[in-house]
Structure 1
Amino acid sequence: MQDAASRLKNIAEQVLGARLPVRIRAWDGSETGPPGAPVLVVRHRRALRRLLWKPGELGLARAWVAGDLDVEGDLYRALDLLAEFIWERDDDAPTLAESLRDPKVRAAVRSLLALAAPFLPPPVPGEEMRRHGRLHRHTKGSDKQAISHHYDVGNDFYELVLGPSMVYSCAYWESPDGTLEDAQRDKLELICRKLALKPGMRLLDVGCGWGSMAIHAAREHGVRVVGVTLSREQAAYARKRIAEEGLTDRVEIRVQDYRDVRDGPYDAISSVGMAEHVGADRYLDYARDLHTLLKPGGRLLNHQIARRPLGDETAYSVDEFIDAYVFPDGELAPIGTTVGLLERAGFEVRDVESIREHYAHTLRRWVANLEADWPRGQRLTSPGRARIWRLYMAASALAFERNRIGVNQVLAVRTPEDGTSGMPLRTRDWRN
């Protein structure tokens, strides 16, 4: 009788219709596959049961989070080799139902059932987002729950991953060899220059995180800042930092939905890494709300991840792993869609800068920070949560590198009726 690893390899290749590019090590200690390749470690039969009960990415995600699946060796290389079977399947690839019409695939599934026995539903990892239906996404209540799921996992854990800058968005690199802290400072300064901040101006920072943008703008540019977040842990951390900087007279942090901000007009608005949480159905309202909060001539800097446009936009579906474990209810739109909606809301879009490669560098640094102190990272949150963050950041780095997703800074103006935008004549000479 074949060992477990050989049986798994045969089953996988029958289902995938291709040679498996990684090695497999099974719970019985057996191992097989291409020499020198990363090793996919199947620690428990339970991993197979997870795949049978939830075929596809969600079953794989649950096995990974629970520790039933692991990778030994270069995680990036393993993900790169497996990408075509998980994230980059051809549009015309057969569905599971279509695959099951093939007698070889049906035989493989029967073999998997025998190997996975007993066929009982495994418990869902505790880190998975619990939902009570999906009919009311992007209400104030559902958004608050989603934000808490992602951001309230421990400030100490985020300190380990993000480093001293505590900025959770794409940095701006002069060189890949630079420091993460310098690159994040340069990103904050770039935003401030694009907004043409000057002493005495009022800035609204939507989705202010741990206060880094608000602190930089107040300290370096003399503006007064209101930062809003739905995360109480972020707000508490930001307020402490602001007090230590002696900026409490210039920076206010609120636990508040951006839809409830009523004390405009502001001279400028920054929204950095927040708009991904808004949702397609709410995006025009989001843009209109920010337009209303700006004074005529005021600038908006919208920093947002984008997906590549699809031939059939109705075919877009949310990544199951990301939706269940990382960014519940998060949605990505093509940059053209975002620009169009900002314009429909009344903005004049003046500049779009793609910084896709910068996010890949940033994510690799965050992964390195986590891996450098892996035992502590697990203690600060949970082993499952640490595994989630390591996988999603590494996979995201590859997605940016392979141009599956991008990130853009969009500078827009609430141009007055007389057309005086206040923008410089030369596009990227951001100062007046």
Structure 2
Amino acid sequence: MADAASRLTALAEELLGVPLPVRLRAWDGSEAGPANGPVLIIRDRRALRRLLWKPGELGLARAWVAGEIDVEGDLYTVLDRLAGFLWERGEESRGLLETVRDPRVRAAAAALLRLAGPFPPPKPPLEEMRGRSGARHTRRRDKQAISHHYDVGNEFYAIVLGPSMVYSCAYWTEQGSLEDAQRDKLDLIARKLGLKEGDRLLDVGCGWGSMAIHAAREYGARVVGVTLSREQAAFARKRIAEEGLTDRIEIRVQDYRDVEDGPFDAISSIGMAEHVGTVKYREYADALYGLLKPGGRLLNHQISRRPEPDEEAYEVDAFIDAYVFPDGELAPMGRTLTTLEDAGFEVRDVEAIREHYALTLRRWVANLEGDWDRAVRLTSPGRARIWRLYMAASAVSFERNRIGVNQFLAVRTPGSGASGVALRPRVWSESGESLEPEESQEPQGR
């Protein structure tokens, strides 16, 4: 096993056909690769067994969650440099052993097997969600998936999200605090919805109650918030009571498909549609359309992915599905828009805020790293490592334009054609970003 790093680097480059972009430090203390920059640490050769058994993101993720690999230096730089292997060279990284045909490459793969040690690989870390059965996106399975992600503990989320307790992309009008940017996002949504005193708002996937509180306190709206997470609901109700808003806000542990007390003047769906699933997306759009009164508005805030050349071959990210958002699915922006229109909505505005999410995620990672020991105590070392990796990798994905996030303003326009959307000019920045005009910055409510 002498000089394992050099042997591993040579074998990896033989298999992949390109130089490794990061320096390696192996379990025997040896190092190899580029001298400058961050170091990818392989603490245990069990990590190699995971990679050979599950090539690509899932094998790497399991090794990361188990603490068998780590990073010394800037995590974002390592992820950015490895992105070409994980995302742009997907076939090679997914199937090192399954797809090789060249005898020279086969020999390198066999040597890597010997370096990895006895098979089979260790069991997956406990934090991986297993035991799912039945069809995706039934009420029962959706509730299990939501619980896996959101019922991690409100104290843990308070570390990551900060005082705003908003778990979606912030809106950065200037380089201020995360709390300011989240408040600005909530207010942007309220203004797009045209909220005013007495309006009835349905907040789908209401989280810890931040949008409901903002709409009731700043605009005088009456709000129904629904979530499948009991921990979120308990936290939201406590906050609402402390704000003195229990007469204006009702929080329910309820599936949006079971809401029957419409119509509503407006609906906000912020970071919730990603859980719906592509096969259920039309059902989602139809349900929200049916819950709005004529002239009512929907603000759908949703992460999107880039279209695939062959959409039928699209695969859900294995790491995200196993450890982060079970059964979550992303759709291209165009598909979302078309589905909303097919349901009867008039889509009046689409705002892309991809860069805003990259900055938001970097702030969340900084929050987690800044209180790491407590985050580990509140959950587990593996769970904290999952959140650090997924948020940092997501930031890189947004920065590289692999994924985006968009706000769709859609109206249930009545037969008269009167949408109620104000006539106001758009303002554009030099980078092509849509800005709000000066006169629309103040709240339109009370």
TM-score normalised by L of structure 1? 0.96
Which residue, out of 294, 314, 317, partners 1:316? 314
In the TM superposition, residue 37 of structure 1 has moved relative to its aligned partner by: 2.4
Secondary structure of the structure 2 residue equivalent to 1:34: coil
Change (3 A) 1:69 1:94: closer
Asked if structure 1 preserves the Cα contact closer than 8 Å seen for 2:282 and 2:343, the reply is yes
Higher mean C-alpha displacement, 107-116 vs 378-387? 107-116
Mapped pair 1:304 → 2:297: no
Counterpart of 1:285 in structure 2 is 283
Asked if structure 1 preserves the Cα contact closer than 8 Å seen for 2:285 and 2:343, the reply is yes
Paired residues for 1:116-127 under 5 Å: 116-127=116-127
Asked if structure 1 preserves the Cα contact closer than 8 Å seen for 2:54 and 2:94, the reply is no
Counterpart of 2:257 in structure 1 is 259
Change (3 A) 1:341 1:126: same
Asked if structure 2 preserves the Cα contact closer than 8 Å seen for 1:99 and 1:105, the reply is no
Distance 2:230 2:224 in 1: 15
In the TM superposition, residue 59 of structure 1 has moved relative to its aligned partner by: 0.9
Secondary structure of the structure 1 residue equivalent to 2:290: helix
Mapped pair 1:370 → 2:374: no
Distance 2:364 2:268 in 1: 23
Distance 1:186 1:9 in 2: 47
User: Given residue 399 of structure 2, which amino acid in structure 1 is its aligned partner?
Assistant: E
Asked if structure 2 preserves the Cα contact closer than 8 Å seen for 1:280 and 1:331, the reply is yes
Deviation per residue, 1:109-152 (Å, 9 max, x gap): 2112211222233011000011344x500111111111111111
Deviation per residue, 1:182-228 (Å, 9 max, x gap): 00000000000000101111100000000000000000000110000
Distance 1:115 1:90 in 2: 23
User: Given residue 53 of structure 1, which amino acid in structure 2 is its aligned partner?
Assistant: W
Distance 2:338 2:50 in 1: 42
Higher mean C-alpha displacement, 45-54 vs 276-285? 45-54
In the TM superposition, residue 418 of structure 1 has moved relative to its aligned partner by: 1.4
Counterpart of 1:195 in structure 2 is 193
Asked if structure 2 preserves the Cα contact closer than 8 Å seen for 1:303 and 1:407, the reply is yes
Higher mean C-alpha displacement, 114-123 vs 326-335? 114-123
Distance 1:358 1:53 in 2: 37
Asked if structure 1 preserves the Cα contact closer than 8 Å seen for 2:171 and 2:181, the reply is yes
Counterpart of 2:79 in structure 1 is 79
In the TM superposition, residue 104 of structure 1 has moved relative to its aligned partner by: 2.2
Change (3 A) 1:368 1:408: same
In the TM superposition, residue 105 of structure 1 has moved relative to its aligned partner by: 2.1
Counterpart of 2:434 in structure 1 is none
User: Given residue 112 of structure 1, which amino acid in structure 2 is its aligned partner?
Assistant: L
In the TM superposition, residue 89 of structure 1 has moved relative to its aligned partner by: 2.1
Mapped pair 1:154 → 2:153: yes
Asked if structure 2 preserves the Cα contact closer than 8 Å seen for 1:351 and 1:427, the reply is no
Counterpart of 2:49 in structure 1 is 49
Distance 1:343 1:91 in 2: 36
Give the share of equivalent positions with the same residue, in percent: 75
In the TM superposition, residue 54 of structure 1 has moved relative to its aligned partner by: 1.6
Distance 2:181 2:338 in 1: 30
Secondary structure of the structure 2 residue equivalent to 1:317: coil
Counterpart of 1:11 in structure 2 is 11
Secondary structure of the structure 1 residue equivalent to 2:172: coil
Counterpart of 2:247 in structure 1 is 249
Structure 1, unaligned stretches of length 5 or more?
none
Change (3 A) 1:93 1:43: closer
Mapped pair 1:229 → 2:227: yes
Distance 1:338 1:213 in 2: 22
Asked if structure 1 preserves the Cα contact closer than 8 Å seen for 2:16 and 2:92, the reply is no
Asked if structure 1 preserves the Cα contact closer than 8 Å seen for 2:52 and 2:97, the reply is no
Mapped pair 1:163 → 2:177: no
Counterpart of 1:23 in structure 2 is 23
Asked if structure 2 preserves the Cα contact closer than 8 Å seen for 1:65 and 1:387, the reply is yes
User: Given residue 417 of structure 1, which amino acid in structure 2 is its aligned partner?
Assistant: G
Higher mean C-alpha displacement, 89-98 vs 366-375? 89-98
User: Given residue 136 of structure 1, which amino acid in structure 2 is its aligned partner?
Assistant: A
Counterpart of 1:172 in structure 2 is 171
Distance 1:269 1:148 in 2: 23
Secondary structure of the structure 2 residue equivalent to 1:87: helix
Change (3 A) 1:51 1:98: closer
Distance 2:29 2:334 in 1: 51
Secondary structure of the structure 1 residue equivalent to 2:171: coil
User: Given residue 238 of structure 1, which amino acid in structure 2 is its aligned partner?
Assistant: A
Mapped pair 1:185 → 2:198: no
Distance 1:269 1:94 in 2: 41
Secondary structure of the structure 1 residue equivalent to 2:88: coil
In the TM superposition, residue 389 of structure 1 has moved relative to its aligned partner by: 0.6
User: Given residue 128 of structure 1, which amino acid in structure 2 is its aligned partner?
Assistant: E
User: Given residue 41 of structure 1, which amino acid in structure 2 is its aligned partner?
Assistant: I
Asked if structure 1 preserves the Cα contact closer than 8 Å seen for 2:348 and 2:409, the reply is yes
Paired residues for 1:345-364 under 5 Å: 345-364=343-362
Counterpart of 1:141 in structure 2 is 140
Secondary structure of the structure 1 residue equivalent to 2:284: helix
Mapped pair 1:417 → 2:415: yes
Structure 2, unaligned stretches of length 5 or more?
427-436
In the TM superposition, residue 2 of structure 1 has moved relative to its aligned partner by: 4.5
User: Given residue 276 of structure 1, which amino acid in structure 2 is its aligned partner?
Assistant: E
Secondary structure of the structure 2 residue equivalent to 1:352: strand
Asked if structure 2 preserves the Cα contact closer than 8 Å seen for 1:199 and 1:221, the reply is yes
Q: CA RMSD in A?
A: 1.7
Deviation per residue, 1:47-104 (Å, 9 max, x gap): 1111122222111110000001111111000011110001222679995466421222
In the TM superposition, residue 408 of structure 1 has moved relative to its aligned partner by: 0.4
User: Given residue 84 of structure 1, which amino acid in structure 2 is its aligned partner?
Assistant: G
Distance 2:237 2:375 in 1: 24
Alignment coverage as a number of residue pairs: 430
Counterpart of 1:275 in structure 2 is 273
Secondary structure of the structure 1 residue equivalent to 2:265: strand
Higher mean C-alpha displacement, 116-125 vs 185-194? 116-125
Asked if structure 1 preserves the Cα contact closer than 8 Å seen for 2:52 and 2:96, the reply is no
Counterpart of 2:332 in structure 1 is 334
Change (3 A) 1:92 1:314: farther
Asked if structure 2 preserves the Cα contact closer than 8 Å seen for 1:21 and 1:37, the reply is no
User: Given residue 25 of structure 1, which amino acid in structure 2 is its aligned partner?
Assistant: R
